[in-house]
Amino acid sequence: MPESEYLYPDIRLWIFDFDGTLVELGVDWVEVRKDMRQYLKGKYSKELDFTSLEGGWREARLVIGEQVSKELTVILSSFESQAALLAKPLRGLETARKLSVGRQVAILSSNLLETVNSVLQHMDGTFFHPVLGRNLVDEVKPEPSGLLKLLDLAHVGKDSAIMVGDRDVDEAAANRAGVAFLHIDELNRLANNKG
């Protein structure tokens, strides 16, 4: 039995958040929100609240329409593609690599799929499957739809999966989906003590 199977032996699917859990992307989220706010004000004469990226994005879709998501994705992509070039692996990536022996590991990210795949290829992280980015889910975390989609794609029930992340939105998504949650710091500690 691979050593990783001693950690939560009933878990068949480990679902990881990406930025802050597996890698440090280093996106300047303040600048992303500022650029989106300015873009929408200039093009649509709408002053929207981008205190949080998700809140501002959601409000833009409600006020302007669904088509605005494509426009905001272009802005986000420009920031994320630059950050991807400088991404740094975190300890969670090695922990996930160990868990992938005998287990399925997946990613649910609020980042764009193209960003996630680019970084994973560069860091030899192609053992994750499936991988879902924000552009493949109806709603990003803390909404549970991405987690539920991953469970369906992996043919795994809620009781056989666990979400690993670093932020409150990761835990909230897990709770809303009825999936167990483990903070990445705790997982790294447990994995270090096991091997």
153-168 tens-digit pLDDT: 999 999 999 999 999 9
Confidence class of residue 43 from pLDDT cuts 50, 70 and 90? very high
Question: DSSP H helical segments within 20-67, as ranges?
Answer: 29-44, 53-63
pLDDT tens digits along 83-116: 999 999 999 999 999 999 989 999 999 999 999 9
**Cα-flanking dihedrals φ and ψ of residue 182, to 5°?**
-140, 130
| pTM assigned to the model | 0.93
Distance between CA atoms of 132 and 143, rounded to whole angstroms? Answer: 14
- Average predicted confidence (pLDDT) for the chain: 93
Is 5 a residue whose pLDDT tops 60? no
Interatomic CA distance for residues 44 and 55, integer angstroms: 18
pLDDT at 1: 39
The Cα–Cα gap between 159 and 99 comes to: 18
Domain residue spans of the chain: 3-25+89-194, 29-84
15 sits in the region (left: phi over 0; alpha: psi -120 to 50; else beta) called beta
Contact call for residues 104 and 13 (beta carbons, < 8 A): yes
Q: Taking every pair of C-alpha atoms in the chain, what is the biggest distance, in angstroms?
A: 61
Q: Could you confirm whether domain 3-25+89-194 is CATH 3.40.50.1000?
A: yes
Question: What's the pLDDT score for residue 3?
Answer: 52
Name the band, by pLDDT with cuts 50, 70 and 90, for residue 194.
low
